[in-house]
Amino acid sequence: MKDGQYSFDMTSKKSDGFSGQRYALLSTDLAQQFLTINQQPAPLELGFYPHATHHYRERPQGNSASILIYCLSGQGQIEVAQQTPIRLNAHQAYLIPAKQAHRYFANANDPWTILWAHFWGHYQADNLTQRVSIGNERENIIQATFTNLFSLSNFTQELATYQTMASTLLSLLDQIYCLPDRQTATADNELLQTAISFMQQQITRTLTLTEICEFTQSSRSYLNALFQRYTQTSPLAYFASLKIERACRDMRLTTLKDYEIATSLGYHDPYYFSRQFKKYTGYSPRAYRQQQ
């Protein structure tokens, strides 16, 4: 490495397997179907790597997908083709173009925590080839959108639901490359986070839109518009998706019966819970367990 570049122990490479990591792999068939009728980016993979010690990736032939890396904390380095190496620090994002030889790795002394996404298709922005710094006004919005992408990844079994996820990815890219760091964005960010935090606290209940509006001190129309803009869904639909994501987690990680999970999430009618579960995942609870 040249002077000033990060040192990296090549004997300690590690590509995955980090404690607390999260990963989602989507259907390439759905991505190809989507691209035949849309021009916007088609998501392929998502990941969250916390404190990714020894994280290393090298692709001498590049990747068929573009790769978005968003650093939450720590540091890392990205090298693309013959370009000057990019140091990626906390609150910064960088997009590696498709089909470009590259490698990237975590700093040995202060390894990064990153959110990342692979996607096919074209995205255009004036600052697309630059490292982007994320101000406080956008950070929570972007993280909330990544959370929504992971939630949607559980339900992407058909083209219609895949399209929702693709729209959410497009919103994420717009938030990084187009949304300004301004006071209005700060206010929206705080309101969105307040609403989502309230939903998470009330996950065992049945919430009404009026209750959410009263807690956040916002109008129904404004809150609806805010959720549509940043999550591509309504507040109550987002709340329902949080419930079903929790149900999926409990089915994977506990021995609770379906009706016990339903009751713990405020569903007192097991048939309604089953219908909601299938609506968001494409599976009945029983089929989901068998698939897992």
Task: Judge whether 21 lies within some domain.
Answer: yes
CATH label of the domain that carries residue 224: 1.10.10.60
Task: Count the neighbouring beta carbons within 10 Å of the beta carbon of residue 60.
Answer: 7
SS3 content of the chain, % helix, strand, coil (to 5): 45, 20, 35
Residues pairing with 23 in the sheet: 47
Q: Which pLDDT tens digit goes with each residue over 251-278?
A: 888 889 999 999 999 999 989 999 999 8
CA–chain centroid gap for 229, Å, is 16
- Determine, yes or no, domain membership for 163: no
Which CATH number characterizes residue 70's domain? 2.60.120.10
pLDDT at residue 239 in the model = 93
Residue 148 resides in a domain? no
Note whether residue 81 is domain-resident: yes
**Number of folded domains that form the chain:** 2
Q: What percent of the chain has pLDDT over 90?
A: 49
**pLDDT tens digits, 135-154:** 776 788 888 899 889 988 88
DSSP state of 51: T
Q: What would the mean pLDDT of 83-104 be, rounded to a whole number?
A: 93
Task: Please indicate, yes or no, if residue 75 is contained in any of the structural domains.
Answer: yes
Query: Quick check: pTM over 0.85?
Result: no
Tell me the β-bridge partners of 87.
Answer: 77
Handedness of CA 181, 182, 184, 190 (dihedral sign): positive
pLDDT above 90 for 73: yes
219 and 114 in a common domain: no
Question: Which of 101, 135, 169 is where one domain is finished?
Answer: 135
Please give the Cα distance from 218 to 213 (Å, whole number): 5
Say yes or no: 126 and 195 in one domain.
no
Instruction: Provide the token pair at 179.
Output: 């949304």
- Structural domain includes residue 15: yes
Q: Do 122 and 24 reside in the same domain of the chain?
A: yes
My answer on whether 124 and 193 are in the same domain is no
Does 17 share its domain with 114?
A: yes
User: Structural domain of residue 68, as residue ranges?
Assistant: 10-135
Which residue from 166, 171, 285 is spatially nearest to 227, judged by alpha carbons? 171
Kindly state whether residue 173 falls inside one of the protein's structural domains.
no
- Nearest one of 65, 99, 95, 67 to 81, comparing CA atoms: 99
Residue 146 within a domain: no
Q: What is the pLDDT of residues 156-201, one digit of tens each?
A: 778 888 988 998 999 899 888 887 655 455 667 778 888 988 998 9
